[in-house]
Amino acid sequence: MSPTTFVLIIVFVVLVVTNLPHRGRATSYQDADHQGVVVYWRPGCRYCMRLRTRLRFTRLRYSEVNIWGDPEAAAFVRSVADGNETVPTVTVAGKAMVNPSKSQVLEAVRTRLDPQA
């Protein structure tokens, strides 16, 4: 197998895995824990893939909502992103962040959800 073929296979696997909902945490806007952490995403979004992959390697508990599968979630994202469906959008204790980094999400969790912070 050539190195190029190997890299293409790895990229394909990463794309497939990062577009799957996190097992047991996929939800709808209505069922999401709005007092916790909610990640709004859509299939094919490379920024969503990057953030979701990085969050999977943390101990953070969060819900994921696919805005293409939930019109109510898409409307929420538009309401906090100047009318655009900009994803990833993350809410921490109800406060929205548009296209945050992993460190921004974790810092928001520390300051908004950690009673000792």
Domain of residue 43, CATH code: 3.40.30.10
Residue at 117 is within a domain = no
Q: Is the pLDDT of residue 52 over 60?
A: yes
Residue at 101 is within a domain = yes
Residue at 46 is within a domain = yes
The more confident residue out of 39 and 11 is 39
Q: With residue 35 as reference, give the H or E element that holds it.
A: none
Residue at 40 is within a domain = yes
Which pLDDT belongs to residue 11? 78
Range of the domain at 68: 3-112
Model-level pTM? 0.79
